[in-house]
Amino acid sequence: MDTGTHIVMGVALGGLATIDPVVQSNPTLFHAVLVGTVVGSHAPDFDTVFKLKNNATYIRHHRGASHSLPAIVIWSFLVSGLIYLFVPEVSYLHLWLWTLLAVVIHVFVDLFNAYGTQAFRPFSKKWIAKGFINTFDPYIFFLNVAGIAAWALGANPGITWVIIYSVIVLYYIKRYMDKREIVKKIHEYYPETKSIATSPTIKQNYWRVAITTPDHFYVGRVENRHIEIIDEFLRVPLPESDIMDVAKQDKNIQSFLNFSPIYRWEINEQEDGSTEVRFIDLRYRSKDYYPFVAVVQINANLEIVTSYTGWIFSERKLQSKLVPSDSSL
């Protein structure tokens, strides 16, 4: 989910914590728990700091180790421990448990969007992306805001959050059923489909899909349960060549390939004798453009000149990122 949603979910969880008699009877503990749930609800995304180094590092690590099983425990102890240093008179057990719940919920809800997480590390590095909840879902966001408002106005927190969370659970079930119907229809059209990546949007009736068959990639959209194929690409394996071998050694390319399961590639000869190798993620088509890419430029001596990976929404912007002085390598 996005940062705003994680924060309101943390505030909501702080409100729910007042059903705990120990928290309810101790204002100092309540405020400590509220800080713990808000910070804990955002803590796994502190890996955004990797952006300060470069995009390759950020893409390789974001929602990876920071969302893993060990990290859940580490974040809960780290956040609650820091808070406890300032209020050592409160019950650490209750502070830690509510903080832990906030971290768990953060990682759990991130499983359902198209980006996903590596939540089962260290047992598996597989990306888990269920793809039926948008990264920012206004229904989930405003349901939490409504619950916070009701609680602030004096509504019973137990009753309030049972109602709010029940509605949210039903909403998740509804979106899951929507996705299941889309997947079923795609399999009817393409019986040999190997995988389907779904990306919901803010619009309830509009989805993006990327379909993999043995021979092709199909990119399409689903609107009002009608599937429309927009682009079709032949699946071509990566060639065994010196150029491609060099490209795959680049950190930006490695980060892209580690993250992107559905992509196509291009090799373009340049006028100056250099070669550009480009990888394009097919899951995120937006306004006739595929914004998530990785590009490496290699000179005639098979040396990497510059490279980039990330979200770019115009060719002009991409080329500005590829000037050698801006290279992160």
Q: What CA–CA distances, in Å, run from 216 to 138, 234, 305?
A: 34, 4, 32
> What percent of the chain shows pLDDT beyond 70?
98
Report the Cα 186 to chain-centroid distance in Å: 24
- Residue 184 has what pLDDT? 94
What are the residues whose beta carbons fall under 8 Å from the beta carbon of 173, sequence distance 6 or more? none
Distance CA 96, CA 85 (A): 13
pLDDT at 327 over 60: no
Dihedral sign for Cα atoms in the order 289, 205, 109, 129: negative
Q: For 23-27, 135-139, 316-320, which range has the lowest pLDDT when averaged over its residues?
A: 316-320
- Residue 326 has what pLDDT? 44
Distance CA 62, CA 254 (A): 14
Per-domain boundaries in the chain: 3-174, 191-234, 242-326
Average pLDDT of the chain is: 91
What are the residues whose beta carbons fall under 8 Å from the beta carbon of 28, sequence distance 6 or more? 87, 89, 90
Digit-coded pLDDT (tens) for 177-229: 999 999 999 999 899 999 999 999 989 899 999 999 999 999 999 999 899 99
pLDDT at 27 over 70: yes
Digit-coded pLDDT (tens) for 247-256: 999 999 999 9
- Residue 127 has what pLDDT? 83
Q: What's the pTM?
A: 0.86
- Residue 22 has what pLDDT? 96
- Residue 112 has what pLDDT? 94
User: What is the DSSP code (8-state) at residue 271?
Assistant: T
pLDDT at 53 over 80: no
Digit-coded pLDDT (tens) for 133-185: 999 999 999 999 999 999 999 999 889 998 999 999 999 999 999 999 999 99
Digit-coded pLDDT (tens) for 90-121: 999 999 999 999 999 999 999 998 888 888 88
Distance CA 249, CA 94 (A): 48
Residues 299-322, mean pLDDT to the nearest whole number:
88
Distance CA 327, CA 307 (A): 6
Confidence category of residue 49, pLDDT binned at 50, 70, 90: confident
What are the residues whose beta carbons fall under 8 Å from the beta carbon of 46, sequence distance 6 or more? 66
pLDDT at 75 over 70: yes
